[in-house]
Structure 1
Protein backbone atom coordinates (compact mmCIF):
# COMPACT_ATOMS: atom_id res chain seq x y z
CA UNK A 1 0.00 0.00 0.00
CA UNK A 2 1.22 3.46 -0.86
CA UNK A 3 0.51 6.73 0.87
CA UNK A 4 0.53 9.88 -1.25
CA UNK A 5 -0.88 13.27 -0.34
CA UNK A 6 -1.02 16.70 -1.93
CA UNK A 7 -1.76 19.64 0.34
CA UNK A 8 -0.63 23.14 1.19
CA UNK A 9 1.15 24.15 4.36
CA UNK A 10 1.24 27.89 5.04
CA UNK A 11 0.50 28.49 1.38
CA UNK A 12 3.29 26.23 0.09
CA UNK A 13 2.25 23.25 -2.08
CA UNK A 14 3.49 19.93 -0.66
CA UNK A 15 3.53 16.47 -2.17
CA UNK A 16 4.16 13.57 0.21
CA UNK A 17 4.75 9.91 -0.47
CA UNK A 18 6.24 6.82 1.11
CA UNK A 19 9.09 4.70 -0.22
CA UNK A 20 7.69 1.23 0.40
CA UNK A 21 7.47 -1.02 -2.64
CA UNK A 22 7.86 -4.73 -3.12
CA UNK A 23 10.23 -5.92 -5.79
CA UNK A 24 13.72 -5.22 -7.01
CA UNK A 25 13.21 -2.44 -9.55
CA UNK A 26 15.06 0.56 -8.18
CA UNK A 27 13.78 3.11 -10.74
CA UNK A 28 10.24 2.76 -9.52
CA UNK A 29 11.17 3.05 -5.86
CA UNK A 30 10.68 6.78 -6.27
CA UNK A 31 7.04 7.60 -5.69
CA UNK A 32 7.53 11.34 -6.30
CA UNK A 33 8.84 12.69 -9.59
CA UNK A 34 9.83 16.27 -10.41
CA UNK A 35 9.01 16.37 -14.12
CA UNK A 36 9.66 20.06 -14.77
CA UNK A 37 9.98 23.33 -12.86
CA UNK A 38 6.19 23.65 -12.52
CA UNK A 39 5.04 20.03 -12.51
CA UNK A 40 5.52 17.25 -9.94
CA UNK A 41 3.69 13.93 -9.61
CA UNK A 42 3.38 11.06 -7.16
CA UNK A 43 1.92 7.68 -7.99
CA UNK A 44 0.16 4.76 -6.39
CA UNK A 45 -1.15 1.59 -7.96
CA UNK A 46 0.30 -1.20 -10.07
CA UNK A 47 3.99 -0.94 -10.88
CA UNK A 48 3.70 -2.13 -14.49
CA UNK A 49 1.16 0.60 -15.29
CA UNK A 50 3.05 3.24 -13.30
CA UNK A 51 6.24 2.57 -15.25
CA UNK A 52 4.46 3.05 -18.59
CA UNK A 53 2.63 6.18 -17.44
CA UNK A 54 5.73 7.79 -15.91
CA UNK A 55 7.85 7.00 -18.97
CA UNK A 56 5.33 8.71 -21.24
CA UNK A 57 4.83 11.66 -18.86
CA UNK A 58 8.61 12.21 -18.68
CA UNK A 59 8.94 11.97 -22.47
CA UNK A 60 6.18 14.52 -22.98
CA UNK A 61 6.87 17.06 -20.22
CA UNK A 62 10.43 16.75 -18.92
CA UNK A 63 11.97 20.20 -18.64
CA UNK A 64 9.12 22.15 -20.26
CA UNK A 65 6.52 24.49 -18.81
CA UNK A 66 3.35 22.43 -18.42
CA UNK A 67 -0.12 23.97 -18.75
CA UNK A 68 -3.35 22.59 -17.32
CA UNK A 69 -4.84 22.30 -20.78
CA UNK A 70 -1.87 20.35 -22.16
CA UNK A 71 -1.75 18.01 -19.15
CA UNK A 72 -5.49 17.31 -19.38
CA UNK A 73 -5.26 16.71 -23.12
CA UNK A 74 -2.29 14.38 -22.76
CA UNK A 75 -3.67 12.25 -19.92
CA UNK A 76 -7.19 12.02 -21.31
CA UNK A 77 -5.92 10.77 -24.67
CA UNK A 78 -3.75 8.03 -23.21
CA UNK A 79 -6.09 5.13 -22.57
CA UNK A 80 -3.67 2.35 -23.59
CA UNK A 81 -2.21 2.26 -20.08
CA UNK A 82 -5.21 0.47 -18.60
CA UNK A 83 -4.62 -3.28 -18.45
CA UNK A 84 -7.76 -4.97 -17.13
CA UNK A 85 -8.03 -4.33 -13.41
CA UNK A 86 -4.48 -2.94 -13.22
CA UNK A 87 -4.30 0.82 -12.89
CA UNK A 88 -2.48 3.76 -11.41
CA UNK A 89 -3.36 7.04 -9.73
CA UNK A 90 -1.29 10.16 -10.25
CA UNK A 91 -1.46 12.99 -7.77
CA UNK A 92 0.53 16.14 -8.11
CA UNK A 93 0.93 19.85 -8.39
CA UNK A 94 0.88 21.96 -11.50
CA UNK A 95 1.91 25.56 -10.92
CA UNK A 96 0.92 28.27 -13.38
CA UNK A 97 -0.58 31.55 -12.18
CA UNK A 98 -1.47 29.63 -9.01
CA UNK A 99 -0.91 26.10 -7.65
CA UNK A 100 -3.32 23.36 -8.74
CA UNK A 101 -3.44 20.05 -6.87
CA UNK A 102 -4.75 17.28 -9.13
CA UNK A 103 -5.67 13.61 -9.00
CA UNK A 104 -5.85 11.35 -12.06
CA UNK A 105 -7.05 7.74 -12.25
CA UNK A 106 -6.02 5.61 -15.24
CA UNK A 107 -9.40 3.85 -15.13
CA UNK A 108 -11.11 7.23 -15.70
CA UNK A 109 -8.50 8.92 -17.90
CA UNK A 110 -10.76 11.64 -19.27
CA UNK A 111 -11.03 13.48 -15.95
CA UNK A 112 -8.50 15.29 -13.78
CA UNK A 113 -9.84 16.16 -10.33
CA UNK A 114 -8.66 19.48 -8.94
CA UNK A 115 -9.04 20.20 -5.23
CA UNK A 116 -7.23 22.24 -2.59
CA UNK A 117 -5.80 18.95 -1.32
CA UNK A 118 -5.90 15.24 -2.11
CA UNK A 119 -5.11 12.63 0.54
Structure 2
Protein backbone atom coordinates (compact mmCIF):
# COMPACT_ATOMS: atom_id res chain seq x y z
CA UNK A 1 0.00 0.00 0.00
CA UNK A 2 1.09 3.57 -0.66
CA UNK A 3 -0.20 6.29 1.64
CA UNK A 4 -0.83 9.23 -0.67
CA UNK A 5 -0.22 12.87 0.33
CA UNK A 6 1.31 11.79 3.69
CA UNK A 7 -2.22 10.89 4.77
CA UNK A 8 -3.36 14.54 4.36
CA UNK A 9 -2.18 16.07 7.64
CA UNK A 10 -3.32 19.58 8.56
CA UNK A 11 -0.09 21.27 7.48
CA UNK A 12 -1.36 24.86 7.25
CA UNK A 13 -2.70 24.63 10.80
CA UNK A 14 0.50 23.01 12.11
CA UNK A 15 -1.52 20.20 13.71
CA UNK A 16 0.59 17.08 14.30
CA UNK A 17 -1.73 14.82 16.30
CA UNK A 18 -3.29 12.37 15.75
CA UNK A 19 -1.50 12.21 12.35
CA UNK A 20 1.93 11.89 14.00
CA UNK A 21 0.98 8.84 16.10
CA UNK A 22 -1.16 7.26 13.39
CA UNK A 23 1.70 7.48 10.89
CA UNK A 24 4.06 5.77 13.32
CA UNK A 25 1.61 2.88 13.70
CA UNK A 26 1.06 2.58 9.97
CA UNK A 27 4.80 2.57 9.25
CA UNK A 28 5.19 -0.65 11.26
CA UNK A 29 3.70 -2.54 8.29
CA UNK A 30 6.76 -3.29 6.15
CA UNK A 31 4.78 -3.39 2.89
CA UNK A 32 3.48 0.17 3.39
CA UNK A 33 5.14 3.12 1.66
CA UNK A 34 4.42 6.83 2.00
CA UNK A 35 4.23 9.32 -0.86
CA UNK A 36 5.57 12.83 -0.29
CA UNK A 37 2.96 14.62 -2.37
CA UNK A 38 0.14 17.10 -2.18
CA UNK A 39 1.77 19.32 0.41
CA UNK A 40 2.11 22.74 -1.23
CA UNK A 41 -1.62 23.05 -1.82
CA UNK A 42 -2.26 22.35 1.87
CA UNK A 43 -0.18 25.36 2.95
CA UNK A 44 -1.57 28.89 3.10
CA UNK A 45 -0.01 31.28 0.61
CA UNK A 46 1.24 33.49 3.48
CA UNK A 47 3.20 30.60 4.99
CA UNK A 48 6.69 29.50 4.02
CA UNK A 49 6.51 26.13 2.25
CA UNK A 50 9.73 24.69 3.68
CA UNK A 51 9.06 25.76 7.27
CA UNK A 52 5.50 24.46 7.12
CA UNK A 53 6.21 21.07 5.56
CA UNK A 54 9.52 20.28 7.31
CA UNK A 55 8.15 18.64 10.50
CA UNK A 56 5.80 16.48 8.41
CA UNK A 57 8.40 15.45 5.85
CA UNK A 58 10.97 14.67 8.50
CA UNK A 59 8.48 12.58 10.51
CA UNK A 60 7.62 10.56 7.39
CA UNK A 61 11.31 9.96 6.75
CA UNK A 62 11.86 8.97 10.37
CA UNK A 63 8.96 6.51 10.35
CA UNK A 64 9.34 4.93 6.91
CA UNK A 65 13.04 5.42 6.22
CA UNK A 66 14.30 6.55 2.85
CA UNK A 67 13.63 3.05 1.43
CA UNK A 68 9.82 3.29 1.71
CA UNK A 69 9.19 6.90 0.74
CA UNK A 70 8.53 8.18 -2.76
CA UNK A 71 7.99 11.58 -4.32
CA UNK A 72 4.78 12.57 -6.05
CA UNK A 73 4.51 16.02 -7.60
CA UNK A 74 0.71 16.23 -7.55
CA UNK A 75 1.09 17.99 -10.88
CA UNK A 76 -0.86 19.87 -12.20
CA UNK A 77 -2.71 20.51 -8.91
CA UNK A 78 0.53 21.76 -7.29
CA UNK A 79 0.48 24.66 -9.76
CA UNK A 80 -2.41 26.17 -7.80
CA UNK A 81 0.11 26.95 -5.04
CA UNK A 82 3.46 27.40 -6.78
CA UNK A 83 5.59 26.36 -9.74
CA UNK A 84 6.62 22.75 -10.30
CA UNK A 85 10.23 23.73 -9.62
CA UNK A 86 9.30 25.32 -6.29
CA UNK A 87 7.36 22.18 -5.33
CA UNK A 88 10.50 20.08 -5.79
CA UNK A 89 12.97 22.56 -4.28
CA UNK A 90 10.79 23.06 -1.18
CA UNK A 91 10.64 19.33 -0.59
CA UNK A 92 14.39 18.92 -1.02
CA UNK A 93 15.00 21.70 1.54
CA UNK A 94 12.55 20.09 3.98
CA UNK A 95 14.23 16.68 3.82
CA UNK A 96 16.73 15.57 6.42
CA UNK A 97 20.26 15.22 5.10
CA UNK A 98 20.36 12.25 2.71
CA UNK A 99 22.82 11.04 0.10
CA UNK A 100 22.45 11.64 -3.63
CA UNK A 101 21.70 7.93 -4.13
CA UNK A 102 18.95 8.09 -1.49
CA UNK A 103 17.57 11.22 -3.15
CA UNK A 104 17.47 9.39 -6.50
CA UNK A 105 15.67 6.50 -4.82
CA UNK A 106 13.10 8.86 -3.30
CA UNK A 107 12.55 10.58 -6.67
CA UNK A 108 12.26 7.40 -8.74
CA UNK A 109 13.74 4.07 -7.78
CA UNK A 110 11.50 3.46 -4.76
CA UNK A 111 8.35 3.98 -6.87
CA UNK A 112 9.82 1.86 -9.64
CA UNK A 113 10.44 -0.96 -7.17
CA UNK A 114 7.03 -0.68 -5.46
CA UNK A 115 5.06 -0.56 -8.71
CA UNK A 116 7.34 -3.19 -10.30
CA UNK A 117 8.23 -0.99 -13.26
CA UNK A 118 11.06 -2.57 -15.27
CA UNK A 119 14.20 -0.62 -16.12
CA UNK A 120 14.07 0.70 -19.66
CA UNK A 121 17.49 1.47 -21.09
TM-score normalized by structure 1? 0.33
TM-score normalized by structure 2? 0.32
